[in-house]
């Protein structure tokens, strides 16, 4: 065995270990990657209103790491048939979702079961995916690469392919110092790149930037008798509380238990990650299963379409349950008018940062 094969073997052994349940340990410490190089610190220029981003001590942002992460993000080499990159399902010109499709096709032609998620401001989340199954952004990277419905890649082979590339060898050494290319370094670099994708709009916190309709929309958004949206889509830089909630989608019908699949806690049945309402103008269709094509459909859902059912959807969030009438088994009519709904839509459509769709720093 040459040394690439040996390292591929060890990576293989390692990932059998991961599948056996020690995933967390692998990603939090540096027992494979010995960082000996001298990469240069990446200056993350955050908007003034943003809190500091929590970046793991084991994976500081460096110029070399971010550059490597970007190259990997756009490289179809990461997939089993070398035909699909991360960017295939996270397209920059579509605000980093899979443009206009409900579900994405993996390399084998099979459709996945969930709608692609945008990857801006992901450095601020505390768990990743609709069901929160990834506890670190580094761990997140592992899932699409190995998932049969997505890139369907054998990690041992991937590491071998990367080790065989002279240009990658150079870039990994610049980012992480001398040594073999490992999956740990690969995940770290991609996570670094994603942490640099920041979407910002001053509008949620500076109402002077809103036009008349958006201003009215904000008021309806906050009004507990009307939209009442802010408990989950918290007003602020990110327009989410980054928690998981059951917003009354008829989950039983599509057989996706959400967070429950991870925690096995019955109260988590039908809970999904509360999405950020930034750039949703560009990320239709909506919800974890892409069931709504337009914001209008979303608003009508919150008005008259959400479900509470003691058998199938007992854990509807209290902030929606209070708008449900048990005697009619339907949402209680709210005080919002046609104009109110249109104003909310205009408010949400105004929460955009178009620059991330074209910024060359995030482009191929
Ligand atoms: C085949 C399409 C596809 C490919 C390829 C793909 N993704 Fe995704 N991505 C998705 C889908 C679908 C989801 C939501 C999946 C879920 O929740 O189960 C997602 C979710 C994510 C999330 C979670 C965002 C959040 O806010 O929680 C991140 C981050 C991400 N992908 C990054 C990547 C990276 C990095 C790669 C490449 C290594 C990649 N994706 C490859 C389709 C894809
Ligand atoms: C109880 C918490 C909660 C409340 C209240 C709530 N939402 Fe949501 N919202 C969610 C969750 C959770 C999802 C994702 C659900 C899923 O896909 O399974 C979501 C999804 C969305 C989406 C889709 C975004 C995307 O990227 O797919 C939009 C738009 C939205 N909500 C707007 C609103 C508006 C407008 C209101 C008020 C009328 C509102 N929400 C009230 C929790 C809430």
Q: How far apart are CA 135 and CA 139, in angstroms?
A: 7
Among residues 206, 196, 45, 191, the alpha carbon closest in space to that of 121 is found at 196
Closest residue by Cα to atom 38, ligand 2, is: 227
What's residue 349's pLDDT?
A: 98
Q: 54 C-alpha to center of ligand 2: Å?
A: 25
Q: Are 222 and 214 in contact (CB under 8 A)?
A: no
Cβ density class 315-340: b for 16+ within 10 Å, e for less: bbbeebbebbeeeeeebeebebeeeb
pLDDT tens-place string over residues 228-237: 999 999 999 9
The count of C-alpha atoms lying within 13 angstroms of the C-alpha of 270, restricted to the half-sphere facing its C-beta, is 22
What residue ranges line ligand 2, CB within 6 angstroms? 227, 229, 231-233, 245, 247, 249, 272, 274-275, 277, 280, 283, 286-288, 295, 298-299, 302, 317, 319-320, 344
Say which residue the tokens 């959807």 belong to.
Answer: 313
pLDDT for 18 beyond 80: no
Q: What is the mean pLDDT of residues 340-345?
A: 98
pLDDT tens-place string over residues 134-170: 999 999 999 999 999 999 999 999 999 999 999 999 9
Closest residue by Cα to atom 35, ligand 1, is: 141
Q: How far apart are CA 225 and CA 217, in angstroms?
A: 14
Q: 130 C-alpha to center of ligand 2: Å?
A: 12
Which stretch of 85-99, 112-126, 245-259, 291-305 has the lowest confidence by average pLDDT?
A: 245-259
Q: 104 C-alpha to center of ligand 1: Å?
A: 10
Q: What is the mean pLDDT of residues 37-44?
A: 90
């Amino acid at each position: 065995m040459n040394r690439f094969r040996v390292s591929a073997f060890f990576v293989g052994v390692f990932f059998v270990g991961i599948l056996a349940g020690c995933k967390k340990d692998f990603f939090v410490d540096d027992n494979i990657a010995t960082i000996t190089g001298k990469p240069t610190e990446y200056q993350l220029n955050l908007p003034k209103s943003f809190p500091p981003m929590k970046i793991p001590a084991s994976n500081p942002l460096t110029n070399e790491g971010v550059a490597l992460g970007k190259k990997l993000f756009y490289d179809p080499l990461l997939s089993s048939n070398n035909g699909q990159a991360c960017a295939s399902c996270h397209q920059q010109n579509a605000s980093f979702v899979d443009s206009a499709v409900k579900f994405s096709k993996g390399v084998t032609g099979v459709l996945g079961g969930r709608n692609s998620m945008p990857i801006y401001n992901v450095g601020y989340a505390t768990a990743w995916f609709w069901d929160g199954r990834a506890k670190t952004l580094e761990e997140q990277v592992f899932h699409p690469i190995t998932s049969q419905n997505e890139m369907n890649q054998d990690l041992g082979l991937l590491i071998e392919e990367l080790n065989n590339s002279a240009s990658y060898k150079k870039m990994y050494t610049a980012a992480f110092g001398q040594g073999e290319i490992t999956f740990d370094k690969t995940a770290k670099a991609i996570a670094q790149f994603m942490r640099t994708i920041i979407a910002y709009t001053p509008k949620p916190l500076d109402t002077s930037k809103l036009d008349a309709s958006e201003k009215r929309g904000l008021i309806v958004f906050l009004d507990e008798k009307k939209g009442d949206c802010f408990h989950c889509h918290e007003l602020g830089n990110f327009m989410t509380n980054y928690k998981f909630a059951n917003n009354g989608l008829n989950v039983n019908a599509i057989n996706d238990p959400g967070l429950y699949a991870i925690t096995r806690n019955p109260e988590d049945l039908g809970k999904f990650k509360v999405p950020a309402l930034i750039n949703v103008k560009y990320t239709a269709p909506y919800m974890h299963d892409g069931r709504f094509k337009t914001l209008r459909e979303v608003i009508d859902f919150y008005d008259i379409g959400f479900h509470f059912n003691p058998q199938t959807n007992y854990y509807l969030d209290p902030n929606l349950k209070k708008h449900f009438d048990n005697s009619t088994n339907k949402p209680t009519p709210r005080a919002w008018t046609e104009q109110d709904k249109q104003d909310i839509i205009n408010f949400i459509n105004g929460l955009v940062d178009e620059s991330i769709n074209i910024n060359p720093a995030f482009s191929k």
